């Protein structure tokens, strides 16, 4: 039973927590310091907007969380990313050693073993606990695969156990089911009705061969009929199909166990708990050996008749894919599921992408400018869908955009990024009503507003200067060359995020904590 305390604790625990994330790209021109200690968290059921100019590191933040930074040239240098309470960067230092000889001469020594394990762990987390949708839906779908196949691929990757369970549940009848079926069957009036009834039922439960026998029994209408019916169903049920489904389920379960053990091992390694490390390593070895011994024959069979084993899984996955497409309000899901990406419009594709991302009920959905490439009416529809999903399924969303209007429409909280730093973070109303950081103020002034009368010949206000080159970023506060309130300290020191009350955080020397200190807040 879940106590009240536990639920409370779960509520507090953020689904994603990023702290001091540093990501850099080693290019021929020098090291691009794309992220410079980014910290934020996303709470359950929350939509967090991440806003900033292009090139400020919004997308790099998202791809770092997903661990999709192209390597080479990019690497996460340090930081912690907690996804659902687990630090995916726990063994970051073991994966690779970075030797910086000069700006243009950086060597990365990779440790293949740890990278392989990291990829194994991440492939269980990606698309499962955390999903992502991208800016260009027409480029983000594989052009030579049907939409349905792409959604089904995601479903089959992460929900095989659930699918197996639902197939087994559907294909195994209880005594009560059979009794009820018999009574219903006897009630049907004509022979033709009865035939149709039995036919549909036996098709559904995979006992089509027994159809005639079942009808005969029902027509005889004696007391032993039910027992006989049970025997027939039981006989047909011990079919080979179900056996394979169970085997596949077991196989998947052991793979998940291996994933869990690896997670624990990674955690133990980061804590240097040698006793636990040895124990876990031993356990992983045993599990691997067990999988090899128990499933080697099955895997060999699967190589030859894999398609037939996959068939019931695919049918069930297809059913789920259709449901998902309905969930994102696609018109004619039966047609869309068989279409190729080039046959659909951008809006339809983005909906399919959302359906794909939601296939395994992720804790969080990262949306990287999901509406930028779409026209305005479609934009509104996509935003509505995402808002509804957030309300109904309580999926948290990290919403990345440069469009402040969209932020105002969608988000609960907003984080403003500038040149690889988060400069301000606050509830959405607070940001628009009471922006603190000079950059945010400038950003808000740069929006054309119909309610504020501007002289025709006056220009819209813009922030002076341009985005800094991140190979040689300004020292101290990276905004200082463009800041109208620049002080001496701004060039020397990097401002920390301080809480000025009401969950409003600013990284600027003009402000201090509500209690008057300048201590960094978590």
Partner 1 sequence: MELRYFIIRRILLLIPTLIGLTLLTFILVRALPTSLLLSQYVNPHSTLPRSVQIAHAKALLGLNYPVPVQYFFYLSALFHGEWGFMVSNFYTGPVLTGIEEFFPNTLQLTIFAVILSIIISIPLGTYIGSRPNSVADHAGRIFSLAVYAMPAFVLALVLQIVLGRGAITGNPLGVFPISGTFNYALVPFPVPSWLTSPNTSALVSHPTHLIIFDALIHHNYAIAYSGLLHIVLPVITLTLGILAGIVRFLRAGMMDNMRQEYVKTARAKGVPENVIIKRHIRKNALIPTVTVLGLLFASLLGGVVLIEDVFDYPGMGLLGINAITSYSIYGVMGVTLVFGLVLVFANLIVDVVYAFLDPRIRY
| Contacting range for partner 1; rule: CB under 8 A; set: 136-144, 240-248, 279-287, 439-447 | 136-144
| Contacting range for partner 1; rule: CB under 8 A; set: 97-105, 140-148, 170-178, 478-486 | 140-148
- Can you spell out the DSSP letters for 317-371? HHHHHHHHHHHTT-S-HHHHTT--GGGS-HHHHHHHHHHHHTTT--SEEEEESTT
Please report whether residue 124 would count as binding partner 1 according to CB under 8 A.
yes
Candidates 26, 40, 134, 197: give the one binding partner 1 (CB under 8 A). Answer: 134
CB-based contacts of 125: which residues, under 8 Å, 6+ apart? Answer: 83, 88
Q: Where are the alpha helices (DSSP H) in 131-273?
A: 137-140, 147-158, 160-171, 175-187, 191-204, 211-220, 225-237, 240-271
Q: Which residue has the tokens 């050996």?
A: 289
Q: Which of these, 481, 407, 476, lies nearest to 438 by C-alpha position?
A: 481
The Cα–Cα gap between 490 and 513 comes to 18
CB atoms inside a 10 Å sphere around CB 379: 19
User: Of 26 and 439, which has the nearer Cβ to partner 1?
Assistant: 26
Q: Cβ of residue 385: shortest distance to partner 1, in angstroms?
A: 18
User: Of 136 and 520, which has the nearer Cβ to partner 1?
Assistant: 136
CB 259 within 8 A of CB 231: no
Assigned token pair, 177? 């089911």
Q: Cβ of residue 13: shortest distance to partner 1, in angstroms?
A: 23
Please report whether residue 125 would count as binding partner 1 according to CB under 8 A.
yes
CB-based contacts of 164: which residues, under 8 Å, 6+ apart? Answer: 245, 246, 248, 249, 252, 313
User: Of 65 and 218, which has the nearer Cβ to partner 1?
Assistant: 65
| Contacting range for partner 1; rule: CB under 8 A; set: 129-137, 375-383, 427-435, 472-480 | 129-137
- Can you spell out the DSSP letters for 118-143? HHHHHHHHBTTTEEEE-S-HHHHS-T
Assigned token pair, 140? 């983000």
Candidates 17, 58, 118, 126: give the one binding partner 1 (CB under 8 A). Answer: 126
Please report whether residue 159 would count as binding partner 1 according to CB under 8 A.
no
Candidates 80, 136, 228, 310: give the one binding partner 1 (CB under 8 A). Answer: 136
| Contacting range for partner 1; rule: CB under 8 A; set: 43-51, 135-143, 386-394, 433-441 | 135-143
Strand pairing category for 130-133 and 364-368: parallel
Assigned token pair, 212? 């005639």
Q: Cβ of residue 80: shortest distance to partner 1, in angstroms?
A: 21
Q: Cβ of residue 340: shortest distance to partner 1, in angstroms?
A: 4
Please report whether residue 470 would count as binding partner 1 according to CB under 8 A.
no
Q: Which of residues 328-347 bind partner 1 (CB under 8 A)?
A: 340, 342
Please report whether residue 115 would count as binding partner 1 according to CB under 8 A.
no
Please report whether residue 372 would count as binding partner 1 according to CB under 8 A.
no
**Count of chain residues binding partner 1 (CB under 8 A):** 30
Counting every residue, how long is the chain?
A: 522
CB 35 within 8 A of CB 22: yes
CB 421 within 8 A of CB 507: yes
User: Of 47 and 366, which has the nearer Cβ to partner 1?
Assistant: 366
CB atoms inside a 10 Å sphere around CB 105: 9
| Contacting range for partner 1; rule: CB under 8 A; set: 133-141, 168-176, 187-195, 222-230 | 133-141
Please report whether residue 364 would count as binding partner 1 according to CB under 8 A.
no
| Contacting range for partner 1; rule: CB under 8 A; set: 151-159, 223-231, 238-246, 274-282 | 151-159
CB-based contacts of 243: which residues, under 8 Å, 6+ apart? Answer: none
Q: Which of residues 16-75 bind partner 1 (CB under 8 A)?
A: 66, 68
Q: Cβ of residue 277: shortest distance to partner 1, in angstroms?
A: 25
User: Of 40 and 134, which has the nearer Cβ to partner 1?
Assistant: 134
User: Of 123 and 188, which has the nearer Cβ to partner 1?
Assistant: 123
Please report whether residue 162 would count as binding partner 1 according to CB under 8 A.
no
User: Of 130 and 426, which has the nearer Cβ to partner 1?
Assistant: 130
CB atoms inside a 10 Å sphere around CB 421: 24
Please report whether residue 141 would count as binding partner 1 according to CB under 8 A.
yes
The Cα–Cα gap between 204 and 491 comes to 72
Candidates 87, 88, 95, 131: give the one binding partner 1 (CB under 8 A). Answer: 131
Binding site for partner 1 (CB under 8 A): 66, 68, 119, 122-128, 131-132, 134, 136, 139-145, 153-154, 157-158, 340, 342, 353, 356-357
């Amino acid at each position: 039973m879940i106590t009240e305390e536990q639920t409370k604790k779960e509520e507090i625990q953020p689904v994603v927590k990023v702290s001091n994330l540093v990501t850099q790209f080693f290019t021929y021109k020098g090291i691009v310091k794309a992220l410079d200690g980014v910290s934020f968290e996303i709470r359950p059921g929350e939509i967090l907007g991440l806003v900033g100019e292009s090139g400020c590191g919004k997308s790099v933040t998202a791809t770092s969380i997903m661990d999709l930074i192209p390597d080479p040239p990019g690497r996460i240098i340090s930081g912690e990313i907690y996804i659902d309470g687990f630090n995916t960067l726990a063994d970051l230092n073991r994966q690779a050693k970075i030797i910086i000889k000069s700006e243009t001469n950086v060597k990365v020594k990779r440790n293949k073993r740890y990278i392989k394990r990291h990829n194994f762990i991440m492939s269980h987390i990606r698309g499962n606990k955390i999903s992502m949708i991208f800016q260009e839906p027409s480029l983000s779908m594989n052009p030579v695969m049907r939409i349905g196949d792409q959604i089904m691929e995601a479903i089959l990757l992460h929900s095989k156990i659930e699918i197996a369970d639902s197939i087994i549940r559907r294909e195994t009848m209880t005594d009560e089911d059979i009794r009820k079926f018999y009574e219903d069957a006897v009630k049907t009036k004509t022979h033709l009705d009865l035939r149709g009834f039995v036919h549909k039922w036996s098709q559904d439960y995979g006992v089509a061969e027994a159809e005639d026998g079942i009808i005969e029994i029902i027509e005889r209408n004696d007391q032993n009929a039910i027992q006989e019916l049970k025997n027939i169903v039981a006989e047909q049920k011990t079919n080979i199909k179900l056996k394979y489904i169970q085997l596949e389920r077991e196989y998947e379960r052991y793979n998940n166990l291996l994933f869990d053990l690896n997670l624990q091992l990674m955690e133990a390694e980061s804590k240097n708990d040698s006793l636990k490390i040895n124990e876990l390593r031993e356990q992983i070895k045993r599990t691997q050996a067990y999988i090899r011994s128990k499933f080697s024959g099955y895997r060999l069979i699967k190589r030859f008749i894999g398609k037939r084993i996959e068939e019931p899984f695919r049918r069930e996955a297809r059913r789920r894919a259709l449901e998902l497409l309905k969930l994102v309000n696609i018109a004619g899901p039966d047609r869309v599921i068989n279409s190729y990406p080039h046959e659909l419009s951008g809006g339809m594709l983005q909906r399919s992408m959302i359906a794909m991302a939601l296939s395994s009920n992720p804790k969080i959905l990262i949306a990287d400018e999901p509406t930028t490439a779409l026209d305005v009416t479609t934009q509104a529809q996509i935003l509505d869908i995402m808002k509804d999903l957030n309300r109904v399924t309580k999926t948290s969303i990290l919403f990345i955009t440069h469009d402040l209007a969209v932020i105002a429409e969608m988000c609960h909280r907003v984080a403003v990024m500038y040149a690889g730093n988060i400069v301000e973070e606050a509830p959405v109303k607070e940001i628009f009503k009471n922006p603190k950081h000079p950059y945010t103020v400038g950003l808000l002034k740069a929006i054309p507003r119909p309610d504020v009368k501007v002289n025709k010949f006056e220009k819209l206000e813009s922030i002076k200067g341009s985005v800094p080159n991140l190979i040689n970023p300004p020292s101290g506060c990276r905004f200082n060359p463009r800041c109208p309130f620049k002080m001496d300290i701004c060039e020397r020191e990097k401002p920390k995020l301080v809480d000025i009350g009401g969950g409003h955080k600013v990284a600027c020397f003009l402000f201090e904590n509500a209690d008057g200190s300048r201590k960094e807040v978590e």
